[in-house]
Structure formats: C-alpha cells, structure tokens
Amino acid sequence: MMRDRMNTSVFDLRRSAIREFARLAKETPGCISLTLGEPDFDTPKPVIEQAKLSLDNHETHYIENNGLRELRESIAAYETKAHGFTCDQSQVIVTSGATEALFTALMGIINPGDEVIIPTPAFVLYEEIIKLCRGIPVHLDTSKSSFQICGKQLEGLITDRTKAIVLNTPNNPTGTVLDTESLEAVHQAALKNDLFVICDDVYRQLIYTDGYHSFTEFTDVRDRTILVQSFSKPYAMTGWRMGYLIADVQIKERLELIHQFSVVSTPAPFQKAAITALDFDPVELKETYVRRRAYMLKRLKDMGLDVPEPQGAFYMFPSIARFCMDSATFCRRMISEAGLAATPGFCFGSDDHIRLTYCYSDSQLKEGLDRLEKFIGMLHISDRG
C-alpha cells in the first residue's frame, strides 16, 4: 500500500478547519465569512512602492539565505528599540512568514518522542508541526483559568521528555494577553527544567490594553528563547509571506541550515519593502480594530453569549456550550441555515466555542452579526418547541 511507503507522520496531520470552513463559505451563495484572520486593509502604499522600486532595480537574484543583511539589521534594531529585546543581526533569520519560522524552530529542537507543551485554546499549526517533527503535543487547558497559565498545572505536565513550551500572546483564538503571573510560571518552569520557550508574538503590535509584557523580557533564559514574528498581521502583508525568527547565535546557526535547505531564502524583491514596513506605524489599523472589537463585543453580549474580552489580535471566542452541539455541527448549520461562516472551536482545542474574526469591513461585520443573532434565535425557538 502507498501508505506503507510514505512518512507515517503525514497521516497524523489534519487539514486546517479554518481553511475548510472558509471554503464552505465560498461555496455557499451569499454566505458571509468571518473565518480567516485576513486584514481588510491594503498593504501600506510605501511598502508596495518600495517593492516596485526593487523590481525596477532588478533586485531579483539570489540573496543571503538568512535575508538581506540590511533587513536583518533593521529587524534587530527594531526589536531592540521598540520592544527592548536586545539582539544583533547575527541572531536573525528572515523566514517565509511566521509559519516557516515556527516549523524551523520546532524542527531544530525536537527529537522523536520529545514533548512540547501548548497552552490551549491554540492555533492548530503548533500541534501539526510538532507531530510532523515526530514530537508529542501536550495540551495545557487554560479554559478554567480565564485563559491564563496556572503554574501548578504547568508543572504537573512536565516530564523528563518535555522539551519546550509554545506561547502565543495575544492569543489566537481568544485575544487574551498572558498576565505577569502566567509569564512568571513559564519562566520558572523553563529555568528549573531547561526548557525552550518559543514566543509566537505575531499579534504584539495589535494590543488594546496597557501593561503588556512578552516572555522575551526574561534575560536569564535568552539562550533558550526563540522569538517568532511576522509582517502579515500588523502591516496587512499576509500574501507577502515574510516573517523572522530571532534566537541565540549557537541555536540560530543550526536553525539557519533547516531554513536554507527548505526555502533557500525569502524573495529578494521584498527585502527592502520589509524594511519600509518596519517604519510604518499601524495606528490606523489598531484604531479600527478597537472600534470593531467594541461593536462585536457588545453585539455578542447582547445576544447573551459568554465571550472573553479580547485584549489583542482581532478574534472573538464566544462559548456555544449552552446550545448542546459540537462546534463543527454548529458552524455547518450556521452556514446552511443562516449564511454565516465562523471557525469551529475544536480546531483550537475547545469544542464548545467558535471563533469570529473582526478584521472585516463594518458592513460585513454588521450583516454577519445580524445573521448570527437570527440563527441563535432560531435555535432558541427550536429548543422551546
């Protein structure tokens, strides 16, 4: 059989439910989709103009595997100045989005049978990459602790095979920002057990609360901290597939070989455009998301849905537990009966929730929420009947 001739780990992978339900929405005439984390803004004009200029200047040839040195220096300077993450260009790899950065980092540290702790709800990508690397995903359920990390619970999951913890704050899908107690719990666990911490901070520039802190602020574990970032979300550059990772030089020198042999390098014409993006202030995006967040949060609460108030990113994660159906069934019915698509919570490890995205136009959000309200009303009528 063909299965016996292939890498067995590929048969453990799941297709992205996010993409699956986005596809179902497209195939359903008139359906409103609030599924993908795709900003409705255009990439900033100066970024586009710089890419055009690079093409006009014939900057279309091979570059250094880790990215243009000028871009790496700009990234290091940006992280040092903007976020206090003191680093040097020698620690930077420019990657094909955060996805490749995560894959490179996990592939570089996981041996077969190693365990990686994932606080859930979480983006499905982490689990699938870990399995592909022949590691074992270990889920830390945060749903009972307001989506924060409990130190005692974390310690209870650590074994002699635990290799790393993946942190995503602000979180996709909840929008939750990890508090100082959560970060300190991970810090102590990393110190005590010599663990890697992979910081997926791709929504860091989309924060709507004061007092945000990143795990990267702990200087005594820098040698085992890997920062993953992306140009996609804050600069509306999802299709450009540009991101980066920053790690201790000794680790980075090994990770860059994985990067070299998987993608060679990111596109040459986008290097200087990415430098331009780092100078762009996404304040307009943030102000729009703040307004849309307030609107969606009020609408969902007026519908009687239990939803945590997101402190960053552009997602809402309302509970559907009271409707007594799994999230896939709920979302499929909502597409067919109400013409609205959301992402089922099961793909984030929380089957009694759905994810709605508010990076869509005001009119699309209003219509989508109107349809959600009508759908919920039909469910209530059905329950009473």
Name the pTM for this structure.
Answer: 0.94
Q: Is pLDDT of 193 > 50?
A: yes
> Nearest Cα to 270, choosing from 38, 45, 52, 43?
52
Domains of the chain: 2-42+282-384 (3.90.1150.10), 45-278 (3.40.640.10)
> Nearest Cα to 224, choosing from 195, 187, 184?
195
Each residue's pLDDT tens digit, 161-189? 999 999 999 999 999 999 999 999 999 99
Each residue's pLDDT tens digit, 319-370? 999 999 999 999 999 999 999 999 999 999 999 999 999 999 999 999 999 9
DSSP label at residue 339: S
Question: Tokens standing for 385?
Answer: 């009947």
Quick one: pLDDT at residue 385?
Answer: 47
Q: Is pLDDT of 384 > 70?
A: no
Task: Count the Cβ atoms, other than its own, within 10 Å of residue 210.
Answer: 6
Q: Scan for tokens 């992280």, then name that residue.
A: 79
Average pLDDT value over all residues in the chain: 94
**E strand map for 90-205:** 92-95, 115-120, 136-141, 162-168, 196-200
d(CA 235, CA 295): 23
